[in-house]
Amino acid sequence: MATAEPETETESVTETTATDTDTSGAGTESDTTDTDSSVPELTREEMLRLLEPDPELTDEEKALRALHIVCCRELTEHDPKSNADVCTRFSSFNIALFDLDQESEAIHGPRLQELTSSQQSSAVQSSVNVISLKVADSDVGYPISVFGTVLARDDADYRCVYLFRRDRDDPQFIESPEDMLTLTGPNRGLVVPDTIFFEFNLKIKGDGTTGDRDFSKGVIEHYPVPLEKGPKAELLSSWLSTVELVLAPVPYSVAATVKISILNGPCDAPFSSKITAWTAGDTESHVILYDEHESRAMGGRRLIGDGGSIALSRDLVAVHVPSALYDDEYEEIALSVCFTSRDGDGGRRFAIMVPMSFRWRLPGQPFWKGRLARMLTKDGALFL
């Protein structure tokens, strides 16, 4: 995906302090001594690995490896659902000096039209569209109020790219397994040359501050399969739930940013519609850009912004770049957008394919945009 070059160096943005602790033996009740409970004890196998002579590692590298093991131990918790100790956060490479909470600083790459053909071939990369996230099973039943974070880490910098982030004071109310968590990200295209990581830390809100409970914690590692098409469901069973994350692979992709505005008609009236988007060649994977019911559940958020722009919950979709783009024969990069109206007529549905390259090549507004918009509502018009 056309994006900024990934960082090649990891800055030391956190301090990890290791406290001396006795790990020489198991001991008995009579001879055990107090230790610092903030630093978990290393297992015998971990200690043996640290003590093994390795002439290829410098003293600094050995120290970093030791700190990495300590960090992983601090992130390890007992999962009652699997009855096993699991590392609840990303730890696939040395995280001794890695800030797990820092947001990604990778930005959008240049517009495709600004690149030469040779630059385009090296700029586009495989990606995924995050289709949906829902609680497939709840051990505590429904309804529940869910808050916390779900984020992605990709090859760009492995920093946090948030998909879902809600505070305790603003939880999402889930009434059934069919209810989807309202996603607000990613805010940039995800780069997936190999593995992408999805990190979960969800809680359910209790009656008081002490009544909150861990609901879903852990990491999903998604491995793209070459030439795979259609959506794929990834499951994470942990603590009190099983969550389902649906992803759709997009090979050779660019990031398309969508903006939808009301051209005429009342901007203060409710926009009772659902807007979804999908890419050419994958009509099954619909990315929800706007849902009036879910948007109102966000609380206090304006549905119609300045200039009549609709406040989309998500505005970015990964779009496939046809191989013909690199050949003499031209083929459009297309994104389909569907409007489902919930008006008094019982609901209407209209879809349109937006040729992305046409929008980039010509700055004007094609006539069909206004004509389609008038079909959508009796009181006004929309512009895509």
For 223-257, what is each residue's pLDDT tens digit? Answer: 988 767 789 999 999 999 999 999 999 888 888 88
* Three-state DSSP class for residue 301: coil
Contact (CB, 8 A) for 172 and 147: yes
Checking if the pLDDT of 267 tops 90, the result is no
Spatial distance between the Cα atoms of 85 and 23, rounded to a whole number of angstroms: 19
> Which residues, in sequence order, are CB contacts of 99 under 8 Å at separation 6+?
13, 14
Q: What pLDDT does residue 271 have?
A: 62
| Res. 41 pLDDT band, cuts 50 70 90 | low
Whether residue 6 has a cis bond before it, omega within 30° of 0 = no
Cβ atoms 164, 146 nearer than 8 A: no
Output Rg (C-alpha) for the chain, integer angstroms. 25
Residue 277 CA to residue 288 CA, distance in Å, equals 7
Write down the pLDDT at residue 115.
76
- Runs of H (alpha helix) within the chain: 44-51, 59-74, 117-123, 292-297, 356-361, 367-376
Backbone angles phi, psi at 318, to 5 degrees: -80, 125
Q: 6-29, pLDDT tens digit by residue?
A: 333 333 333 333 333 333 333 333
Nearest to 168 by CA among 129, 206, 135, 218: 206
Question: Which band of pLDDT confidence, cut at 50, 70 and 90, is reported for residue 219?
Answer: very high
Q: Between 269 and 161, whose confidence is greater?
A: 161
Three-state secondary structure call for residue 288: strand
Q: Could you tell me what percent of the chain has a pLDDT over 70? A: 64
**Across residues 119-133, what is the average pLDDT?**
84
**Domains of the chain and CATH, by start:** 44-87 (no CATH), 107-250 (2.60.40), 258-384 (no CATH)
Averaged pLDDT, 206-218: 90
For 51-67, how does the pLDDT look when each residue is reduced to its tens digit (9 = 90+)?
A: 565 668 888 999 999 99
Give, for 77, the enclosing helix (H) or strand (E): strand 76-79
Q: Mean pLDDT lowest for which of 82-86, 128-132, 134-138, 277-281?
A: 277-281
Q: Is the pLDDT of residue 327 over 80?
A: no
Neighbours of 27 (CB within 10 A): 10
CA distances from 35 to 51, 67, 175, 376 (A): 21, 18, 45, 68
Q: Quick one: how far is CA 204 from the chain centroid? A: 20
Residue with the two structure tokens 């958020």: 301
Alpha carbon distance 384, 308 (integer Å): 12
Structural contact between residues 316 and 353, judged by C-beta atoms closer than 8 angstroms: no
The predicted model gives 174-181 an average pLDDT of 94
pLDDT tier for residue 335 given thresholds of 50, 70 and 90:
confident
Structure confidence at residue 182 (pLDDT): 94
Taking residues 327-349, report their average pLDDT: 59
Lowest mean pLDDT among 89-98, 119-128, 210-219, 327-336: 327-336
Where does the pLDDT of residue 378 fall: very low under 50, low under 70, confident under 90, or very high at 90 and above? Answer: very low
Using CA atoms, how far apart are residues 313 and 270, in angstroms rounded to an integer? Answer: 16
Q: What is the DSSP letter of 187?
A: S
Per-residue pLDDT, 133: 97
d(CA 360, CA 383): 16
The token pair that represents 86 in the structure block: 């699991």
Residues 73-125 have pLDDT tens digits of: 999 999 999 999 999 999 999 999 999 999 999 987 777 777 777 777 776 78
Q: Report which of residues 278 and 180 the model is more confident about.
A: 180
- At residue 164, the pLDDT reads 98
CA gap 270, 106 in Å, rounded: 35
Mean pLDDT within 156-170: 96
Going by pLDDT thresholds of 50, 70 and 90, the confidence category of residue 303 is: low
Residue by residue, what is the 3-state secondary structure of 238-268?
ECCEEEEEEEEEEEEEEEEECCCEEEECCCC
Tell whether the model's pLDDT for residue 216 goes beyond 90. Answer: yes
Bridge-based pairing of strands 282-291 and 273-279 is antiparallel
